[in-house]
Amino acid sequence: MLEIAVSGEGDRRLLRLTGELDMAGVDQFERLLALDETAEGTTFVLDLRGLTFIDSSGLRTLIMADQRVRANGGRLIVVRGSERVNEVLEMTGVARRIELVNEPPAD
């Protein structure tokens, strides 16, 4: 099960993902992101530190979200998750396609 906590204002949003980003949680994540995508130049920080699992649909969603946000003049920053999640990001090559950091950027 996926839980998403959203905070931030103005042109910056922090989304903390907890649980599993899999086929069951992808729709929830995409709907939430779509609500915020309307503002040009928004920076989204996806904090994966609470994520315990990610599957191929979750990986695809990260890549598509990055492309949509950038096409809208924004930026998507992904905070590394658990060792298991990080291994999947690295093994699949997704880590090279997204902006990946160890800690959320300071305000």
Q: What is the pLDDT along the chain (107 residues), one digit of tens a residue?
A: 999 999 987 788 999 999 999 999 999 998 887 766 666 788 999 999 999 999 999 999 999 999 989 998 999 999 999 999 999 999 999 999 999 999 988 86
For the chain, the structural domain boundaries read 2-32+39-101
| Residue 92 exposed, middle or buried by CB count within 10 Å (0-12, 13-18, 19+) | middle
pLDDT of residue 39: 65
Total-model pTM: 0.90
DSSP 39: S
- Give the whole-angstrom CA distance, residue 8 versus residue 54: 24
Q: Which of 3.30.565.10, 3.10.310.10, 1.20.1070.10, 3.30.750.24 is the CATH number of 2-32+39-101?
A: 3.30.750.24
